[in-house]
Structure 1
Amino acid sequence: MGTFKAIRIDKAEKGTTAALTQFDEAELMAGDVTVRVEWSTLNYKDGLAVTGKAPVVRRFPMIAGIDFAGTVEQSSHPQWKAGDQVICNGWGMGETHLGAYAEKARVSGDWLVRLPEGMSARDAMAIGTAGYTAMLAVLALEQHGLTPANGPVVVTGAAGGVGSVAIAVLSKLGYHVIASTGRQSEAGYLRDLGAAEVIDRGELTGPAKPLARERWAGGIDSVGSTTLANLLSMTKYRGAIAACGLAAGMDLPSSVAPFILRGVCLLGIDSVMCPIELRKTAWSRLAGDLDSRKLAEITQEIDLSQVIEAGARILAGQVRGRIVVKIV
């Protein structure tokens, strides 16, 4: 047993504190697989945790970070052996279970997904929970029956992590993608990802009508609140919106009109406790449906010492695309 670098969150007199420090391996929680973490990433929830802006962390001390990619060091789980390359997302890591911003992690082998063939650990975390969530949303829309022939799809929070990956995947699948953003300076970036149109988020932030002009057959929303309400009111007959975020709030000031008059569906996307088989499908699809060139364009790299500062920037809406965190 020894120590390793980790971002540790502790309870303070007012809120929490976060610092890069040494963590004792003896303090790792129960699990049948120990992983040498090589890469992690920065998601909106990670920003909330390391800055203490919301009560994400539910036990102390906590190691922050909700997903990792790395190599198995020890395993008593029948599916995994030393040397296997694995991905882990969610399952309460960084909230109730010691997380990913560390050189080591101990988790249940049932939580792990094998790194897809041809995908590097770095690329997996360039995708991260944000990209994996975007893929879950795409799968939900496909299960609903949506195809490019049905009409345009809209993506909100388009310059963020979920939005960037969603645009890249949907455009590669042949959809006409409408990107909604509050940063018009990113219009060129969004078009490079595959957006056919870029609209200002102001078009979706006013009070929602029960029904508005039909504009899209489906969409992926990471914003919530009034934005989601407007999306629903503008969705075409029998269309669907996949909701996976709450950057603007948890409320939904909508009405039943889109559901009972147009047959619109609201598809809830949960990445944290998602069943393992659906996770495997999502990661397999990401290996084939996400252009590696576009992934490289949306990704920037930092190390553990820069995570806390980057967490504040992602909450302020100052991060474009995806951030990978080099652990070792």
Structure 2
Amino acid sequence: MVVGASRGLGRQYAADLARAGARLVLTGRGNEVAAVAETIRQEGGSALAVRCDIRNPAPFVDAALKEYGAIDGLVVNAGLVRDRSFAKMSAGEWSEVIDVHLGGSFACAKAVWAPMTARGRGSIIFTTSGAGMHGAFGQANYAAAKGGIIGLMKTLAIEGERVGIRANAIAPMALTEMTDGVFSDRMKHGLLPEQISPFLLALLDPGSTRTGEIVECGGGWGAQMRWQRSADNVQDGLNGVCESPCPQRDARPPRRRQHRPALGPPARPRSQIARACLRRTGRTRPRCHLHAPARSERRVAGHLIRCGTASR
């Protein structure tokens, strides 16, 4: 099922899925979705058009079960924008965008969850955006909705694992009616909707095991997005600029310095990791990797040796 298949990326998804042999149920709020389904049928594909709102998915779910008896995949692509700076944004503009993008994604996923659970398999593809990951001026409503979709997708990936349902999200960069005013003329020629479909098809493939992932793609390029913690304690980085008392910082015990004998050879090390440290640095115990910059590394017994440092 492709939600929002009337135009743009949804229409391209439908055409490429049909060429791959998928039997489709297409939805949209306008009459254009019927023309898209008719074009697919004329080319020898199987497509059924249902006119409905993304927030009311019952009609197209019922049509899919009646026509095909099962639902293997769901692509949630419908949406709208009401761009305005935060100072000028109305409560109605905020609520409408949140309701369509985030509320619609919830409603569609909820509608197919039971049929997919009954079969023990299924794939749900949500549509997020770079605005949802990084923010964008004039798009507080849109960015909040797309960021919420990421949280929804991550949670469904966790809950769906035990029932065979996979959930992923695509953050596409492509020229459509909605993004026509965003890209420059030079960028428009290189960001085509047909360059997004290969990533969608790969995530929908029944043989795929990917779940809980965000794939940012555009112009034939794609990458898996992720969040990553910094290596050090964030509080340490704030000590120099934070003059107010910090209970967490002040409660920490002082760091103990390792004792190194001034004279005499080091004791014979017993472990393989200690012997490696001794050969490289003359120490039987590794120094903390946070205070010793690494210039080379190798693995010994599952440990990473970096110029006299050791860490898992």
Q: Normalising by the residue count of structure 1, what TM-score does the alignment of the two structures yield?
A: 0.30
Judging by fraction of residues, say which structure has more helix. Answer: 2
Which structure's relative contact order is higher, taking Cα pairs within 8 Å and 6+ residues apart?
A: 1
More strand by share: 1
TM-score, normalising length from structure 2?
A: 0.32
